[in-house]
Structure 1
């Protein structure tokens, strides 16, 4: 007789499986929420870091260029006459460039006038022009090589009758696009028997900084740009994305005799003290410092954020605060401020 044993079978009931699935889904949902939160936080940190980096870099570009404004090697432009009118920053003719040599900086408050070589300028932002020679002479280590058609500046160090001992200031320097015309000499000249060593020459730069509405056409990203003088005119170069506003106050040395120290700051030397004509140009010539204010914003929106802040960007012509905002949009912003000394103009004005 065969005896059959009963085998006990065990397993999950439907209810138990449903409970297990529900718990699993809750854990997955929690992990997904945690991942999304961390991802948002990481993206926001990246936005903030990019904004800080862009703001600081833009400020460094501007302040470094301003510190070197008016550098013309060994030549002292105080010997040149002040232009009767404000020079055209977009001019490329050598005669006009020479007339503009004494004016190291000039600006346009809130873009009231836009130079013809600029485009897509953001309304209500400042434009600043910086003129100087490169601090690096052609042929020096790590310096740019000679570029055909670009203007170069050469200062004489030779006290010959045809150079520094001449009665004409025009013989003290050369500004030319043809390197064959850069024929001035250094101090070792002993005229007329030995001509001496050729004086070094430097690329002459005109930089026009402005805020554009777009980095690339139609992208809506405000960008700090610069128009640069080259062999064929001016080329606009994008520098830093997310720079939304630029405001500058210029420190003018109004003392007689000059001290090299700003007696007053104004965002518009063209209208300071109700000036006209050459007097206004003289204020630009005697600008020895600048207060630079930048407003940087994120290049992308932050979900759920609304910018209700007001930002102070220095002072207006009437002395009231130059405030912008609130923008009430989803972009986060930060304001930057720096005061810089224009070493060359300030140094020449110092007794």
Structure 2
């Protein structure tokens, strides 16, 4: 009987080390693959969520409940307006806020209600009322609400009331005996910020500034949204169908495509990137098409990117214009 020689023992150790190194390499590669897959999945989820969320809000823009658009002139109100008198509603002049307003990078940068705004990106303002009606007494204190008259004996000069005080709502329903319900007025600005949790990260993020009470409240929506570009569908013939797509107003005085009130659809392009870089990755000079706003890139960093595009019809603007 004899034991292992020193040479045999060293050979066995060497083989064991090789096997351990192989297993370690396999584990490292598997972990890296899993990490990259997780980054890509989060990027896809954020991009799809942003497209779905914004698409749904665009589709209900201009919805003002029971208020007929006939005789109401759409006006462009300040994007950051919080006072009721500055929102564009005026019974005497029969005006209401335009459903959609596009903001150029210069216009967005000038707004005080978009903290941590990402320079060079545009923004989108959407306005409508909540689809849920409540009794005036159940309205949230300080919130802006719209009430519409459905009673023929209500004062002819008062078609609607917009207020934050429940005691102001005096218009009646169709039976002319019960005070009509109210709907919360919603004004939102979608924009790209330089951070998600500002002060803790620098991840570009889709955010939304929303009118709540007497202030604009900002909420993060989707991480990794690096830029958003908008193509606006203008109806210049009045039949509810898009006649032209522009990246903004035409600038031609008096032209139908120089009026935000004639926008019947919006095509939105999202440039989404992973929230973390991928070691050793380069996109090889890839450029990304953002519609009428042109291309972006190539980029020299290690983030993976992709573009999501969604086209949405503004039903409450396009629908009433349709010709049977």
**Structure 2 length as normaliser, TM-score?**
0.92
SS, match of residue 96 in structure 2: coil
Matched, 1:300 2:276: yes
Please, which of 141, 148, 169 is the counterpart of residue 182 of structure 1?
169
CA contact (8 A) 2:125 2:189 kept: yes
CA contact (8 A) 2:74 2:96 kept: no
Bigger radius of gyration among the two: 1
Distance 1:342 1:21, change over 3 A: same
State the shift of 1:82 in Å: 4.0
Please, which of 56, 62, 71 is the counterpart of residue 54 of structure 2?
62
Q: Which residue of 2 aligns with 1:149?
A: 142
Matched, 1:53 2:45: yes
Deviations 1:86-118 (A, max 9, x none): 421111121221157340010112344432211
Q: Which residue of 2 aligns with 1:230?
A: 212
Matched, 1:291 2:267: yes
Q: Which runs of 5+ in 1 are unaligned?
A: 1-8, 140-144, 190-195, 317-321
Distance 1:74 1:159, change over 3 A: same
Deviations 1:52-106 (A, max 9, x none): 00000001111100001011001023422343xx421111121221157340010
Work out the CA distance in 2 between the residues paired with 1:89 and 1:112: 10
Between Structure 1 and Structure 2, how many residues are aligned?
313
Work out the CA distance in 2 between the residues paired with 1:33 and 1:104: 57
Higher mean displacement: 87-96 or 279-288: 279-288
Q: Which residue of 2 aligns with 1:159?
A: 152
After the TM superposition, which segments of 4 or more aligned residues of structure 1 sit over 4 Å from their partners? 278-282
Work out the CA distance in 2 between the residues paired with 1:76 and 1:294: 34
State the shift of 1:12 in Å: 0.5
Work out the CA distance in 2 between the residues paired with 1:113 and 1:13: 79
Work out the CA distance in 1 between the residues paired with 2:204 and 2:142: 32
CA contact (8 A) 1:300 1:331 kept: yes
Q: Which residue of 1 aligns with 2:188?
A: 207
Q: Which runs of 5+ in 2 are unaligned?
A: none
Q: Which residue of 1 aligns with 2:66?
A: 74
Please, which of 95, 98, 102 is the counterpart of residue 107 of structure 1?
102
SS, match of residue 216 in structure 2: strand
Matched, 1:217 2:209: no
CA RMSD of aligned residues (A): 1.8
Q: Which residue of 2 aligns with 1:42?
A: 34
